[in-house]
Structure 1
């Protein structure tokens, strides 16, 4: 089903891009009914409602695709996957409500990463993750439209644009074609210490470093004196009680980058945590690029760029994952071991805590770039050492 949805989405996007864009730039933003303009540029393509780009105040507006299937029908179609996510969400203290943004963010990653159960059930979980990836776009599109409507003085559009679907090319799989030995290449590069990155990831992949990074535990009402919180694959032994109660993927990868010596950036006196150009941690409030998957992507695609091929990626490089291919990454991982092929480039992550392997029905299996591409996910990789 995922492949069918992807084909339909690609067809719809091509149709949308060929549509004449609507120009509203002759009128002030506050005099334009932005929602009506968006609706006039929408069309139904298979399972999705697509939006063609249009302009307001000479600025291009891009909106995300939305699913045609309503939430009630989705809960019937993906009943078993929803039940899995609902039970897990209860452990984390998250209400099992498809219209709750915290639940959607949690369930999207939890369902996508689940490998436990029958092949049909695992596939249903991944399809449910794709649906959620598009379902949340209804709310995100409204946020974009509201931000444009509030921008009555033609202020800087960069932060509004950061809410929109990406226009960057993704990282294409190099597959099993022999590549340069990425382990050697990254280790010898600049001042980025990939050995420290790997050591940090190995130490903390199944724990939470509240000693040095307590903000998220404190924000979520958890005891910051404990470092044993984790969130393992469903069915894997060693799960902490309580489990880590928040999505921690980008935070974990940011910590790994910091351990390798990546310089943090903080500029501006007014709401610096909201600026995409910043990337930093402090106990009061980290930048949203430190701990949010899509914000992390927005920062690093500008700071270092997206690698054109996975052949360019090696140890210490970060990777963003877009489960549905809607243009907004959902998950963040880091490469901790690499040789010459995608199947040799092993990953580490939080949210679903993994180090080089994932758990499936009692066995450990390689958690690699090949695994990501094999799920038909869209991948954005960053050569972190190129930032220096």
Structure 2
């Protein structure tokens, strides 16, 4: 199978048949190059990462679970270097093409996985989400994507970045495939019962670009009609930027701790933006980390208050559609900061979040609407995604 969009890691393509007769038989999937596949080096998006490391002798939990369910693995996909990126541009392996928004980034760090699904090369794909790496490419590529409840899905065999925020996630083009894969990964049937209340995060909509917020309004109205009861709330009373600052204090510090010994021993090559993130992580004062951990507790308390059982919250997944490929760092850095303002609650609170596709800006660029539910309500969010697609006809 050809890779005309540059979604897969260079070299021979991995192909492993799924178990015959499983619930996902007939489906194909790809795995972000952070997931162990037996007999294949884990590249991590950085050509120095595999050096001196043993080749995995067994599959990661996520890969094995999909294979056991009958899905066939067709390759490993490009990721931002050691998952330290949100836009999907990789200095070593290139930028996968976003067929949903030509000339635009696919979003990262699960860039190849999202791009491959969007292009129809595979039915579903594994990604990871620490600061938004499934949610953002889902929005930019017009896909269903999930960041599960933190700790819900086994991450054995997945290359870590910041463990208190890391999760495994997955993508699909249509809600029915998304539900089939989610049932397997979550280990439970997708219910028919929907939540009874919707909250619209007005501060998040106010923070998004005007054309993005406007493009999402028909989906918000459809969601409200589906749920039957809706209201408005401020999600982050301290400020979305304050939540983002807490995530930017905790995540880089953890990432530096994760990779510190490798940096010391190997002095690996990085793109400047990735090196900058690690250097920043190494310099975060203990006082900032103490403050950020306290803010994490506040965020968790706020989300628990907003989301009792039977309630979901919606917000723009990203504040704008996919930026153009190849923008200068001086332009990209503020964009990354704005994305974090709408994604920080994922890593801080660990509540499940699903991106719903279906909206485009006046320029025809995809933007996603996110729904967040209480911890453990992952399958219910998937049920909402399925109901939304059926309502659309």
TM-score normalised over the length of structure 2: 0.30
Structure exhibiting the larger radius of gyration computed from Cα positions: 1
